[in-house]
């Protein structure tokens, strides 16, 4: 029995399910168009902590705790955690999840980590290695600005192509136990370098990777595009969305009518001054959980391709003149009656 | 069919194999006691590049290329790469491996990443998701000093408990195809925080995690300790080794006669001024490939527990007063005739 499908995909013969999820966000995200959908919205972005990094760890801890609670599970019911974040040495994860005392695989896929963690979690459950695993990702506007751009106190100006890192954490319990949302398969991304040099234009850096993974997905699975209700990218924003749609048109694929981007959904650019849209590991993780997953659970949507996108850079690589390559990991989600 | 064994382990019913591996190191490692065993030793630690980070990427690229070459494979024969390094946003991996154009899972487990990558790679092959995967990890003395401690130009003093980051990369091809070294199972580590605050005493920070994983391994597998030829930790060094042996004695387990540590093997502390020993993702990866694996291939050793150990910190977490927790991921390697 092999689940191998085409060059980059797996179609699970024993597909796992998302049995619960949670999304916790910061104040600004709570004020955005999806504000009412999130499980919890912080009063301020320190979440009672003394540093932005500690606040991000707390976000992960709370999202994980809530996802467990919704499924009526305890940490000891989990066999593995798959988790990551954007910070150097993924410290939000290490310090946020250590008290759960569960075997942990630390991941780094930049903002694609929500897709990477769910892919590996699903593979693990589908293989019979675990009955229940938890996948967790997070980002925090202030810790990310400090990590990648400038300390907030500088008050630097931002170009219109810049995205706004989402403060939030999404956690998912993936299990062999049935629910209304099945992870039917995955398409794992390759690193794609399109020669983008601008670290304030992540959308452009990630769109070619999203294009590559979407094209691979359709080649591997062979289902017609009109069988998909939605193709949802992580955080391309307005700039990246245009590029993705154009790149896929060159391949003869038109996703313009069924494409959504979590980074576009989460903020109102006209009133929230978020430029090209939201970004960060947390962006796709919280938006899927709070806004898109309910549509799959209810059956309003039957089939969705969810692909978080990541820009692979650090301040060191950027300052040494390196390009910003991208990667995107796709998850095929289907409604089950 | 379930491979689940005890609380933290898998014993693979369709065990995968290591069909080839490669170890490339820097000049100092080449001058150490294992110098003759490595596949390639760099003339200088820039490996023809303009920065330490680029040099580390080149190390990964070369180790991966060589491991493929030894197995007579091309990149397109690989289904997945599992890889990581110590740098912020794991840039050595992103820039080192992107030209292979293979679906990639980026990992961060600090110096335990060699164990983490081999665990996930083995799980993937054992589940039938891939016929061949590549696992790659690296570290570089100069990029790590810059990342975690001080620029080399400072010439700062080092306490005796400090370890010396190994410049090197190890790559492994894991496959369902038989060889003389089987990955019989894995024991996945949890994060263990022993309250260590000293970032220059990584051995002490990681030893409790190694103890936790070893204890879990024996509890899960239930095989007597004298059935193991060796228990090999990644980079505890002299300080961590003493602590590990003491901690396990408190649990009634004596590994003192069969314990080896890659960080202790790779340098001669008396002539190479490496204090407590070698460390880094690359340390365990190159030492297993070059020095220990041949003993398993020849059958001199029949059964080895290999567990790379990681210290989970960043300069940010350290400067914000956080402890240095540890994690260790174990791989059970057995000789097959």
Least confident stretch, B62-71, B91-100, B193-202: B193-202
Of B90, B101, B120, the CB nearest to A108: B90
The alpha carbon of residue B19 is apart from the nearest alpha carbon of chain A, in Å, by 21
C-beta atoms of A104 and B193 within 8 A: no
Contact between residue A17 and residue A69 where contact means Cβ atoms under 8 Å apart: no
Q: Which residues of chain B have a CB within 8 Å of the CB of A2?
A: 128-129
Contact between residue B183 and residue B333 where contact means Cβ atoms under 8 Å apart: yes
Instruction: Check residue B8 and give its pLDDT.
Output: 98
Confidence of residue B38 (pLDDT cuts 50, 70, 90): very high
Instruction: Check residue A213 and give its pLDDT.
Output: 98
Measure the CA–CA gap between A106 and A121, rounded to whole angstroms.
12
Please give the backbone phi and psi of residue B13, each rounded to the nearest 5 degrees, phi first: -75, -30
Measure the CA–CA gap between A35 and A168, rounded to whole angstroms.
12
The alpha carbon of residue B36 is apart from the nearest alpha carbon of chain A, in Å, by 33
Instruction: Check residue B163 and give its pLDDT.
Output: 87
Instruction: Check residue A51 and give its pLDDT.
Output: 93
Instruction: Check residue A146 and give its pLDDT.
Output: 84
Question: DSSP 3-state assignment of B170?
Answer: strand
Instruction: Check residue B154 and give its pLDDT.
Output: 78
Q: How many CA atoms lie within 13 A of A276 on its CB side?
A: 24
Instruction: Check residue A160 and give its pLDDT.
Output: 83
Size of interface A-B (CB pairs under 8 A): 177
Least confident stretch, A122-126, B40-44, B169-173, B284-288: B40-44
The alpha carbon of residue A129 is apart from the nearest alpha carbon of chain B, in Å, by 6
For residues B213-217, give the mean pLDDT: 98
Weakly modelled stretches of chain A, pLDDT under 50: none
Contact between residue B303 and residue B226 where contact means Cβ atoms under 8 Å apart: no
- H/E run at residue B279: strand B278-279
Residues 6+ apart with CB under 8 A from A16: A121, A122, A125, A126, A174, A175, A176, A182, A183
* ipTM of the prediction: 0.96
Instruction: Check residue A250 and give its pLDDT.
Output: 97
C-beta atoms of B116 and A106 within 8 A: yes
The alpha carbon of residue A315 is apart from the nearest alpha carbon of chain B, in Å, by 9
Confidence of residue B1 (pLDDT cuts 50, 70, 90): low
Q: What pTM value is reported for the model?
A: 0.97
pLDDT digits (tens, 9 = 90+) for B58-85: 999 999 999 999 999 999 999 999 999 9
Least confident stretch, A131-145, B146-160, B166-180, B244-258: B146-160
C-beta atoms of B88 and A88 within 8 A: yes
Query: DSSP state, B307?
Result: E
Residue of B nearest to A130 (CA): B4
C-beta atoms of A314 and B116 within 8 A: no
Residue of B nearest to A185 (CA): B129
Confidence of residue B149 (pLDDT cuts 50, 70, 90): confident
Of A8, A97, A129, the CB nearest to B4: A129
Average pLDDT of chain B, as a whole number: 95
């Amino acid at each position: 029995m092999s689940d191998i499908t085409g060059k980059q995909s797996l179609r699970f013969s024993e597909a796992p399910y998302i049995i619960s999820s949670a999304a916790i966000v910061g104040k600004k995200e709570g004020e955005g168009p999806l504000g009412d959908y999130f499980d919890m919205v912080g009063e301020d972005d320190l979440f009672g902590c003394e540093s932005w990094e500690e606040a991000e760890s707390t976000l992960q801890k709370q999202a994980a705790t809530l996802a467990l609670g919704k499924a009526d599970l305890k940490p000891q019911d989990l066999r593995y955690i798959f988790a990551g974040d954007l910070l150097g040495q993924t410290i939000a994860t290490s310090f946020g999840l250590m008290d759960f005392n569960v075997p942990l695989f630390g991941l780094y896929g930049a903002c694609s980590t929500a897709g990477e963690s769910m892919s590996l979690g699903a593979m693990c459950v589908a293989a019979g290695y675990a009955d229940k695993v938890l996948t967790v990702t997070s980002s925090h506007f202030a810790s990310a600005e400090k990590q990648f751009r400038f300390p907030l106190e500088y008050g630097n100006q931002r170009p219109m192509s810049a995205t706004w890192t989402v403060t939030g954490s999404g956690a998912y319990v993936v299990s062999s136990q049935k629910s209304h949302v099945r992870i039917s398969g995955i398409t794992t991304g390759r690193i794609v370098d399109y020669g983008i040099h601008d670290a304030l234009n992540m959308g452009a850096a990630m769109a070619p990777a999203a294009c590559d993974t979407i094209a691979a997905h359709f080649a591997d699975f062979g289902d017609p595009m009109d069988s998909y209700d939605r193709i949802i990218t992580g955080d391309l924003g307005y700039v990246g969305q245009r590029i993705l749609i154009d790149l896929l048109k060159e391949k003869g694929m038109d996703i313009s009518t069924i494409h959504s981007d979590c980074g576009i959904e989460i903020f109102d650019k006209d009133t929230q001054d978020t430029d090209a849209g939201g970004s960060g590991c947390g962006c796709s993780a919280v938006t899927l959980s709070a806004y898109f997953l309910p549509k799959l659970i209810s059956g309003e949507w039957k089939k969705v391709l969810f692909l978080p996108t990541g820009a692979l850079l650090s301040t060191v690589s950027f300052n040494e003149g390196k390009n910003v390559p991208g990667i995107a990991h796709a998850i095929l989600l289907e409604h089950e009656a």
